């Protein structure tokens, strides 16, 4: 998704009528993401839409409010920006940066291997994103390659805060996340905190190296047993420093896991010893891989399974949904009010 931050101040609260819907570019369990263009200034954005019927039926409004509040308050070059939030009679919509370099997941499924230098920069940018998330009192809970976008300059952009949670001084206890990335304490139904994000980080770094999560199995019970009791497998092509970092992030006991005392424990690990963190934060390190995109509307790096879907929802659904619209009050937001 190329960064599409408009420099023009929007004087009004935007609605669906202010955008032309161009293509489907993503889909979640309950949401769909579109490439849209602002009709006034012709900027391109990603629009995430969630049906109100799903929010109401599944009692998900608090979770959606958390996603909205998180995106409003987060401030990192490695996290997608929320520019507007509004609603139609049928949908709640987020207008976000359109990051068009593709998902990390797509590149992990390609033939090329990630070098350790490439892994190092990606990991560092993810760590800085998590640092910002945790400083806000949030646990992210869904770190995985599908939620790691590559921007047009080759940098990481973290997206989808749909299952993030403000925990402040308390702990979380719900079982959620993508199964192959879920930490042992979550599988055991223990209460947990930000340490689960460091487990996910270790899993993602391992996957960047080996193209497969460390404990993956098509058999759910076997995968759960591996996560609770197994050890990740390494080969001679993994450096001592990377091996040690992954091992310490994938420590079963969350109290002993690297990062639990402070995220600086991870930043100061020997794997990152030659990295200038200030340059990383300022995006002054040129990534090893730069996506080949022509312009800010280029969708060539987006998975064709999404692009081939028809656009119909906003045109054929009835204009009125029989539900109490007051339950969605206070959702709207504009960064340029």
Structure tokens at 168: 């402040």
Query: Which one-letter DSSP state was computed for residue 79?
Result: B
Residue 21, SS3? strand
Please indicate whether residue 57 is annotated as part of the active site: no
C-beta separation of 204 from 130 below 8 A: no
The residue from 41, 69, 97, 142 that is catalytic is: 142
Question: Burial code of 263-296, b = ≥16 C-beta within 10 A, e = fewer?
Answer: beebbebebbeebeeeebbebebebeeebebeeb
Q: Which residue has the tokens 């937001």?
A: 333
Using CA atoms, how far residue 59 sits from 52, 66, 166, in Å, is 10, 13, 18
Residue 323, SS3? coil
Does the annotation flag 120 for ligand binding? no
Q: Which residue has the tokens 């080949």?
A: 292
Residues designated as active site: 142
Binding site for ATP: which residues? Answer: 48
Where is the binding site, in residues? 48
């Amino acid at each position: 998704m190329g960064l599409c931050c408009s420099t023009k101040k929007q004087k009004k609260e935007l609605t669906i009528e202010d955008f032309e819907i161009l293509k489907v570019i993503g889909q979640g369990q309950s949401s769909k993401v579109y490439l849209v263009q602002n009709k006034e200034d012709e900027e391109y954005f990603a629009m995430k839409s969630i049906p109100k019927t799903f929010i109401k039926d599944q009692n998900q409004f608090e979770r959606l409010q958390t996603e909205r509040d998180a995106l409003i308050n987060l401030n990192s070059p490695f996290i997608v920006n929320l520019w507007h939030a509004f609603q139609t009679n049928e949908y709640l919509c987020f207008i976000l940066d359109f990051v068009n370099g593709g998902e990390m997941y797509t590149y992990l499924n390609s033939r090329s291997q990630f070098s350790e230098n490439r892994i190092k920069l990606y990991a560092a940018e993810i760590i800085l994103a998590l640092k910002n998330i945790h400083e806000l009192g949030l646990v992210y809970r869904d770190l995985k390659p599908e939620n790691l976008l590559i921007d047009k300059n080759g940098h990481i952009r973290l997206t989808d805060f749909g299952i993030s949670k403000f925990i402040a001084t308390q702990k979380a206890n719900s079982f959620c996340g993508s199964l192959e990335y879920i930490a042992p304490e979550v599988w055991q139904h223990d209460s947990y905190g930000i340490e689960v994000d460091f487990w996910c980080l270790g899993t993602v770094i391992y996957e960047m190296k080996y193209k497969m999560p460390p404990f993956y199995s098509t058999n759910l019970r076997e995968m759960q047993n591996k996560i609770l009791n197994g050890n990740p497998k390494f080969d001679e092509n993994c450096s001592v420093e990377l091996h040690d970092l992954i091992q310490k992030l994938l420590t079963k006991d969350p109290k002993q896991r690297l990062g639990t005392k402070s995220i600086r424990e991870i930043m100061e690990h020997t794997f990152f010893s030659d990295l200038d963190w200030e340059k990383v934060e300022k995006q002054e390190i040129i990534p090893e891989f730069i996506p080949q995109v022509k312009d800010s509307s280029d969708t060539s790096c987006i998975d064709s399974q999404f692009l081939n879907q028809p656009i119909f929802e906003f045109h054929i659904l009835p204009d009125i949904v029989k539900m109490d619209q007051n339950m969605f009050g206070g959702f709207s937001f504009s960064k340029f009010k």
